[in-house]
Structure 1
Amino acid sequence: MQALLRAGTALAGIVVAGSALAADLPRRAAPPPVFTPVPVFTWTGFYAGFNAGYGFGTNDNRRDPTVLGVNGASGLVAPGTTAAIAFSNGRNSNEGFVGGGQIGYNYQFTPGSGFVIGVEADAQYVDFGRERNRFAVAPGSAPFLAGTQIFNPNGVSGLDYFGTVRGRLGYAFDRTLVYGTGGFAYGAGGGRDFGLPNGSSDDFRTGWAAGGGIEYALPTDSFLNFFRSSAVTLKVEGLYVNLDRGNRTTGAFGATPAGGLVYTNSPGVVLASGGAARDRSTEFAVVRAGINYKFGSY
């Protein structure tokens, strides 16, 4: 019996000693937390989007009205009668809604903050020239023959669409980009408003554009990200556009009921007053807001 007690006592001593030794052993360190780096935003990548705004003319078209006297030899009024026509040359012809789309590519040299270069092309519908062909017939003048068409001989500028291909250079402050832009511009206007009933050789014009803006990139999970792009950006931009129309005499100012064109130097037509009938450049500024969907690097 005593032997069993001695054995139990020895076993208990061994257990106690083992526990003390285990307490003295160094504890195993917990694994370090997993660090997931936050991606640094970059403007590098392709993008496409839409824009809308307002355009207004910047060239001064305010001149005295152009007055033409015509008689029966012109074919616009009955033989033996005369008429006088006054054309308004106001500048309110280049003003209205602007809207369209754009595509482009940016490259940022250093992600986060740094310089950004890019190229952008856009195409715009414009609602210019609502009053570009206003004229009045002097009281007491002979009425024009039925089917006669009259056009402004000064070719007061109007526009139906324009587009640009521009370079962009800016600096990014993380998700905010401030930039300048400039490059090639083109545009065209409709038909008789440029001097001919079915268009003229000067309908399509080219020139240049310059401006600048600011753009901000929303988070990727923005509710505006309908196309699941890498980013959605919002921008506000100002652009000046100059389309050269040359400096030559405009085409016809009238069409007879039989379809014949009548020019300012046609028989029976006298330029009574006003400046020479010349084409002018189309100059206007555009202020617009836009949205872009960026595809590529985050």
Structure 2
Amino acid sequence: MKTRILGLLAATAISTAAISAASAADLPMRSAPPAPIIAAAPIFTWTGFYVGVNAGYGWSEDDNDAIDLADDDNDGGFIGGAQVGYNYQIGSFVVGLEGDIQYADFGREGVFNFTDENGNILEGELESSDWFGTVRARAGVAFGQALIYATGGFAFADDATGWTVGGGLEYAFTNNLSAKIEGLYVSLDADNDDGFDFDNDVDFGVVRAGLNFRFGTY
């Protein structure tokens, strides 16, 4: 009798444990909610094409010293134009190529007088080119959205060709919009006029501000 009672109690305990385990399996699991996924902040890059406009001031150094009657007072004035280029960033270094075309309202303007071999006075007018352009390489160091760079390359105007060198600072306010301040020194060499024996070379400086729309984004 006693053995039967012990067996019954053991069977009851086993059944109760099984029912409790089954009930626990049906209950929802209590676990910590998944951590929210936070996207990494985008990294700014200067890589990409851009187009823009610029305006500033230019001043010339007239090399036509043999013309004593030329008016050299008008040697500075407004410049303005447009540029297009491409940047490629490697780490903190940025390299690129830029071309621009400029209207230039400065330079030599005046009247000169010469005499020929018979003593007759020859009159004429000296006028500087009212435009110039450059094709330049750019190389610099980026500090986030700020870029400090040097630039140099080929320059041209009318029948004159030469070189240019300079540098600047550019800052990107948004993904696509950046502003720059730039200085250039330009040296052009045109064909000399052997008949009047003067030098058509001209050197001038440019300081300008520009605004670029950049097609490259984050």
TM-score normalised to structure 1 length: 0.57
Q: Following TM superposition, by how much is the alpha carbon of 1:94 offset from its aligned partner in structure 2, in angstroms?
A: 3.2
Q: Deviations over 1:79-112 (max 9, x none)?
A: xxxxxxxxx23433432110000000000012xx
Asked whether the 8 Å contact 1:60–1:91 carries over to 2, the reply is no
Query: Which residue in 2 is equivalent to 1:72?
Result: none
Task: Look up the match of 1:108.
Answer: 89
SS in 1 for 2:190: coil
2:208 is matched with 288
Deviation at 1:63, TM superposition (A): 6.3
Q: CA deviation at 1:164?
A: 0.4
Map Cα deviations across residues 118-175 of structure 1 (whole Å, 9 max, x no partner): 000000011124x612469xxxxxxx9xxxx9314xx5x6121000000001000010
Query: How much does 1:60 deviate?
Result: 5.6
- For residue 133 of structure 1, give the secondary structure of its aligned residue in structure 2: strand
Among candidates 105, 109, 112, match of residue 127 of structure 1 = 105
Q: Is the 8 A contact 2:66 2:198 kept in 1?
A: no
**Is the contact between residue 66 and residue 197 of structure 2 (CA under 8 Å) also seen in structure 1?**
no
What residue number does 1:213 align with? 168
Mapping for residues 48-197 of structure 1, pairs under 5 Å = 48-59=51-62, 65=68, 88-110=69-91, 114-129=92-107, 132-134=109-111, 150-152=123-125, 155=126, 158-188=128-158
Q: Is it true that 1:240 corresponds to 2:160 in the alignment? A: no
Q: Distance in 2 between matches of 1:105 and 1:242?
A: 24
2:49 to 46, 51, 54: 46
Report the CA distance between 1:26 and its aligned residue. 7.9
1:30 aligned residue: 33
Distance in 1 (CA, whole Å) between partners of 2:157 and 2:66 is: 24
* Paired letter, 1:245: A
Distance in 2, matches of 1:134 and 1:96, equals 19
In 2, distance between residues paired with 1:164 and 1:31?
58
Alignment partners' CA distance in 2, 1:282 and 1:64: 14
In the alignment, structure 2 segments of 5+ residues that lack a partner are 1-15, 114-120
Q: What TM-score, normalized by structure 2, do the two folds share?
A: 0.76
Q: Does the CA contact (< 8 Å) of 1:63 and 1:90 recur in 2?
A: no
Cα distance in 1 for partners of 2:123, 2:64 equals 20
Deviation of the 1:297 alpha carbon: 3.7
Q: Which amino acid aligns with 1:249?
A: D
Task: Number of aligned residue pairs: give it.
Answer: 188
Quote the Cα distance in structure 1 between the aligned partners of 2:146 and 2:61: 30
Alpha-carbon separation, structure 2, partners of 1:92 and 1:117: 39
Higher strand share: 2
- What's the CA shift for 1:59? 4.5
**1:280 CA drift (Å):** 2.7
Decide whether aligned partners of structure 1 residues 124 and 245 sit closer, same or farther in structure 2, where only a CA change above 3 A counts. Answer: same
Q: CA deviation at 1:33?
A: 1.6
Gaps of 5+ in 1: 1-13, 66-87, 137-143, 189-203, 221-230, 251-275
Residues 278 and 61 (structure 1 numbering): CA distance in 2 closer, same or farther, change over 3 Å? closer
- Structure 1 residues 64, 186: closer, same or farther in 2, change over 3 A? closer
The alignment-based identity, stated in percent, is 47
1:277 aligned partner: 197
